[in-house]
Structure 1
Amino acid sequence: MDNNDKNEYLDNSELEKSKSHIIVEIIEYMANAVVIKTIIKKSTGNISIMSFDSGEGLTEKTSPFDTFAQIIEGKAEIVIDSKSNYLESGQGIIIPAHAPNFIKPNGRFKMIQTIIKSGYE
């Protein structure tokens, strides 16, 4: 567990390289939890896949880097600078660096998160 007051599970082991993966099947739902699996992690950025059980979300945070969030199963509400954005499978959004944001629970869903650390923010 990676968070003191929530059920959040983090797997930092990267996916096997040079092997095809069915992205939506890399991670499963866990009851009353957010599960995060690292796809690739580099000093220049990282890509993670996340699953959210019904009623689970992420609290407000601000990142010094641009983040791309793409829904790969289900639907989610991503709030950026107090503006709600409703996304469903196949849709993505760029969360600007330094913008307060959070993910509101909206049923079960899975998403890919890509963070680019350019170093110029």
Structure 2
Amino acid sequence: MKDRYKNGIFSYKDLLPIKAGHTLSLSLSKRDDINIFLFGLAKGTDISEELYDNRSLYINLDGSIRIGDHKLSNDQAIFSGGLNSYAIYADEDSYLLEISYNKKEDKMLKLENMGQIFSLKDVITYLDGGISNYDVYSRDDLKIVLMAFDAGEGLTPHTAPGDALIFALEGEADMMVKDETHRIKAGEQIVFPKGVRHNVTAVTKFKMALILVK
């Protein structure tokens, strides 16, 4: 993850303000085999039809997006297999996250095999007095996880083997990063840098998506 995103809470809307008639993109993480891009698409704009070799997970963070024949609303996502040709169109001002990765040996999970639209918040449910985890996608160098915390529940301080990008989906939580604690709420993001001690404590019932790149 780029260093500029490792300084506390941020919002994708502040990173990439939408401009009328524009399609904007911002690289959050770029490697030979894994890329994470944020797109800001003004209403009526599009990304023209192209042939994509890599697999991608698309997450519609806000707005209304069409990817080929699939229409995504807020917090909905879809996996796209490689060697597919499709266009992306914004029916209204929208923010789209693309996680693109090559097709090396990996662990195929149920959601990817379905090839259907799914809602991040609806995939995982709360556990009374506990924490739920759901692996959306997993391989040695890339992990995408959904987590749901009951109010007051949290993780013990720990470090991660790579940078972890957190998207708050529902509720509020306190995020400790090194010696600082940040209050995060739905619609905001934070990065846990590689090797830096951190934890999560839910203030209310709290759901988040975690993207770990090693």
Q: Same fold (TM over 0.5)?
A: yes
Distance 1:38 1:16 in 2: 10
User: Structure 1 length as normaliser, TM-score?
Assistant: 0.82
Distance 1:87 1:105 in 2: 10
State the superposition RMSD in angstroms. 1.6
Distance 1:42 1:64 in 2: 13
What residue in structure 2 maps to residue 110 of structure 1? Answer: 207
Q: Is 1:98–2:195 an aligned residue pair?
A: yes
What residue in structure 2 maps to residue 74 of structure 1? Answer: 171
Secondary structure of the corresponding residue to residue 58 of structure 1: coil
Secondary structure of the corresponding residue to residue 212 of structure 2: strand
Cα deviation, residue 64, structure 1: 2.2
Cα deviation, residue 105, structure 1: 2.9
Distance 1:109 1:49 in 2: 11
Task: Write the deviation string for residues 20-69 of structure 1: whole angstroms up to 9, x where unpaired.
Answer: 00111001111001000000001221000000001100000011211111
Cα deviation, residue 76, structure 1: 0.9
What residue in structure 1 maps to residue 118 of structure 2? Answer: 21
Q: Structure 2 matches for 1:28-67, cutoff 5 A?
A: 28-67=125-164
Cα deviation, residue 14, structure 1: 2.8
Secondary structure of the corresponding residue to residue 85 of structure 1: strand
User: Structure 2 length as normaliser, TM-score?
Assistant: 0.47
Distance 2:172 2:124 in 1: 16
| Higher share in helix | 2
Distance 2:185 2:202 in 1: 13
| Contact 1:15–1:38 (CA under 8 A) maintained in structure 2 | no
| Contact 1:78–1:103 (CA under 8 A) maintained in structure 2 | yes
What residue in structure 2 maps to residue 3 of structure 1? Answer: none
Q: For the pair shown, which has the larger CA radius of gyration, 1 or 2?
A: 2
Identity %: 23
Count of residue pairs brought into register by the alignment = 106
Whichever residue aligns with residue 71 of structure 1, its letter is: A
| Contact 2:129–2:150 (CA under 8 A) maintained in structure 1 | yes
| Structure 1 unaligned blocks of 5 or more | 1-12
Runs of 4+ in 1 over 3 A off after TM superposition: none
